[in-house]
Structure 1
Amino acid sequence: MISRLASLLTVLILLTTAGCGQAGTPRTSTPPEPGGTASSGTTTGSGPATGSPSPLPSNSPDQAPPSPSAGPPGLPIDDLLDHMSLVEKVGQIIMVGVPVAGEREESAAAIREHHVANIFLHGRTQAGQGPVRRLVDDFRKVGAVANPRDPLMLVATDQEGGAVQVLRGEGFSDIPSAVDQAAMPPADLRRSAETWGTELARAGVNLNLAPVADVVPADSASSNAPIGAYRRNYGYTLDSVVSGSVAFGQGQRDAGVATTPKHFPGLGLVVGNTDTTAGVTDTETGPDARSVEAFAANVDSGSEFVMMSSAIYTKIDATRPAVFSPAAVDLLRDDLGFDGVIMTDDLSAAAQVQAWTPGDRAVLAVEAGVDLVLASADPATAAPMAQALVDRAEQDPDFAARVDRAAGRVLSAKAALSR
């Protein structure tokens, strides 16, 4: 299943161009961004890039990455895991934010020191495709040195369109909002999404944290802070959301970019934005909700990842956010039959999860059955998250087995992307 790990490593060794170009001047017509985290989840809150993106720290490795030491090419996932240390396995199940403009040392340190094996391009940039590709290649070099047994890296961003589009400039289309995408015939939307996905792939991005599969009623859209207020929803009916989100996902995957329907089991009925507001609770969405049906359609269409919401759903689990809830994860895993990678919304800076320490957030998510922990808006939280996961796994064999299963799913997804 990972027969191309060695061949991809050879490709990565060739990607040694350093630096990142100047960010362009932000467009005054860009809609105001939803506040909060760059994920994700709900939004990217750093605003348009106005300065020159910083290169990687000068002490980042510039030598060719070493050859994999896990054994001969084509090792099955289970055998690859057997060759990994616990620290390396934990690194597989964390994704750290990398600012597209600004200081990146904390992000690079998380990779070098904690073997974090996945990155999320965070913020806003007008720099265009070339500088983004050089940034990605720089971080792939760091990742290949830190994780020689797994030279692959998930490189994610938020390229939904409309108010939530991280990457702009030469080589990137201006993508319409999901509301506008939903007005396109599905076949046309799929073709357009393939074009947008090809642009991402050329920049080195292999995972888009999109589409939004939340169902937002028309009469409450303006008061739905995380989704409806920013036209991130594919229309206002279940049929429209299913048609639009599935077509978008299919087009992205046609281009070789994996997709992440979000935010399970749905953020369409809440008022507050979990990025900027604590205690966001949905009292209506249950296992048979329309939004759950929309996610089921995306799962059936082939989505490789699904993102969990950090809101509380009283009809599913009234005691904890969905991202920490075994009941919510089981709804996705067992009832919908999803066997891919379940990831969190941003757990680094979201107001909804600040009552827990960064380490506890990561442990609770993995304990609930989540596979990939996103620390997008505040890269400094990746280190305590990694340490807490290692500490817990060293003390609890059952938790260590959960880490193994999660790392195995992430590695399997990477292997599929390399084919």
Structure 2
Amino acid sequence: MSLSEKVAQLFMVGTPVDAVNDTTLAAVRDDGVGGLFLHGRSTDDINATAALVDQFTGFASSELPLWVATDQEGGQVQVLSGPGFDDIPSAVEQGEMDADALRSAAATWGEQLARAGITMNLAPVADIVPNGSAATNPPIGALHRQYGGDEKAVAAGAGAFAAGMRDAGILPTLKHFPGLGYVTANTDFSTGVVDDVVTAGGPDMGVYRTLLGEGAAVVMMSTAIYANIDPELPAAFSSDVISLLRDDIGFNGVITTDDLSAASQVSAWPPAQRATMAIDAGVDLLLVSSDPSVYPEMRDAVLERAKDDPDFASKVDAAAHRIAAAKAE
């Protein structure tokens, strides 16, 4: 692969779930980007979603498969809910199910995604929200996205959901490392979001250690700042946080960011800098979901930095190899 082809694989670019974004289509057709993300909410039937996906996959120019992803957690975070897609219960409700029953249900939900042409689900949530604190945790607890209030419950629920997705041929994504269950603001809409609870040796790490031993998955980085690990940078830009995943837990698979295009938490950095900082820190896949218009600026910044900086180029190369290996698997 050429350097530009490798760089393109490091991006997952968004389109509205019911429309073709021209910038995203060009990214798929002309650059061969690694992934497509369907964002928003749709009550269209499964065939309409499949037809939308076909408009992109039909133009895919990379020799590697195009990852097609969405957020199909259940409850208040379910992008696809039209005819052909089940009404998926929230993670809180899923966590009350027997593990085998949840795995079977998730396999059915995954089969529905597969019929729509989707290959990756940015779920399940692996964040611990302590019992009794959900109302003060806007991004997870207030939306009933958590599987439980302790390490064991979250690992069991998220593990069953992820296993069901894999049974259906859908690659699950565990999020949001190293944990968003204690923050009191939402990184999508707020700046200066800091976690002062998560530690390198705490139960939040234990959840990932368990889940990543159970099968293939992508891991999504949070954009909160973790005072006990790296008090300066959001996790997606922090080599100290990412090293916990790589070195302490031993994860050698694909690491993705949460959305870098429009989240308030990362707005202090220009889009180009967001992209290069994340890759420099050890991220593989950059999610540019809500505002694809910033993709060209991000792509150009990564490409130019890789041309000028051999160390950075080696990180691009390693990320492209991890993505290629995950797609092959």
TM bracket, shorter-chain basis: over 0.9
* 1:406 pairs with 2:323: no
Larger-gyration structure (1/2): 1
Pairing partner for 1:129 from 37, 42, 46: 46
* 1:343 pairs with 2:256: yes
Q: Distance in 2 between matches of 1:295 and 1:117?
A: 25
Pairing partner for 1:371 from 258, 280, 284: 284
Who is 2:238 aligned against? 325
Q: Does the 8 A contact of 1:87 with 1:115 survive in 2?
A: no
Shift of 1:246: 0.3
The one-letter code matched in structure 1 to 2:225 is I
Who is 2:14 aligned against? 97
Pairing partner for 1:382 from 265, 289, 295: 295
Who is 1:65 aligned against? none
Who is 1:244 aligned against? 157
The one-letter code matched in structure 1 to 2:249 is L
Give me the identity figure in percent: 51
Q: Does the 8 A contact of 2:110 with 2:170 survive in 1?
A: yes
Shift of 1:300: 1.0
Who is 1:116 aligned against? 33
Shift of 1:103: 5.1
Gaps of 5+ in 2: none
Pairing partner for 1:282 from 171, 195, 199: 195
Q: Which moved more, 1:332-341 or 1:294-303?
A: 294-303
CA deviation string 1:358-378 (max 9, x = no partner): 111010000000000000000
The one-letter code matched in structure 2 to 1:209 is L
Who is 2:85 aligned against? 172
The one-letter code matched in structure 2 to 1:345 is D
Q: Does the 8 A contact of 2:70 with 2:122 survive in 1?
A: yes
Q: Which moved more, 1:215-224 or 1:260-269?
A: 215-224
Q: Does the 8 A contact of 1:119 with 1:155 survive in 2?
A: yes
Shift of 1:296: 1.4
Structure-1-length-normalised TM-score: 0.77
Q: Does the 8 A contact of 2:256 with 2:284 survive in 1?
A: yes
Q: Does the 8 A contact of 2:14 with 2:24 survive in 1?
A: yes
* 1:397 pairs with 2:310: yes
Q: Distance in 2 between matches of 1:294 and 1:218?
A: 16
Q: Distance in 1 between matches of 2:4 and 2:32?
A: 7
Shift of 1:177: 0.0
Task: Count the aligned residue pairs.
Answer: 329
* 1:208 pairs with 2:121: yes
Structure-2-length-normalised TM-score: 0.98
Shift of 1:138: 1.1
Q: Which moved more, 1:154-163 or 1:104-113?
A: 104-113
Q: Distance in 1 between matches of 2:90 and 2:210?
A: 21
Q: Which moved more, 1:359-368 or 1:93-102?
A: 93-102
Q: Distance in 2 between matches of 1:98 and 1:131?
A: 15
Q: Does the 8 A contact of 2:20 with 2:52 survive in 1?
A: no
The one-letter code matched in structure 2 to 1:396 is D
Q: Distance in 1 between matches of 2:51 and 2:324?
A: 24
Pairing partner for 2:207 from 294, 303, 316: 294
Q: Distance in 2 between matches of 1:237 and 1:116?
A: 38
CA deviation string 1:180-209 (max 9, x = no partner): 000000010000011101111111111000
Shift of 1:115: 3.0
Q: Does the 8 A contact of 1:192 with 1:251 survive in 2?
A: yes
Relative to its length, the structure with more strand (as a share) is 2
Q: Distance in 1 between matches of 2:20 and 2:316?
A: 30
Q: Distance in 2 between matches of 1:171 and 1:246?
A: 25
Alignment of 1:134-149 (within 5 A): 134-143=51-60, 146-147=61-62, 149=63
The one-letter code matched in structure 2 to 1:325 is S
The one-letter code matched in structure 2 to 1:195 is T
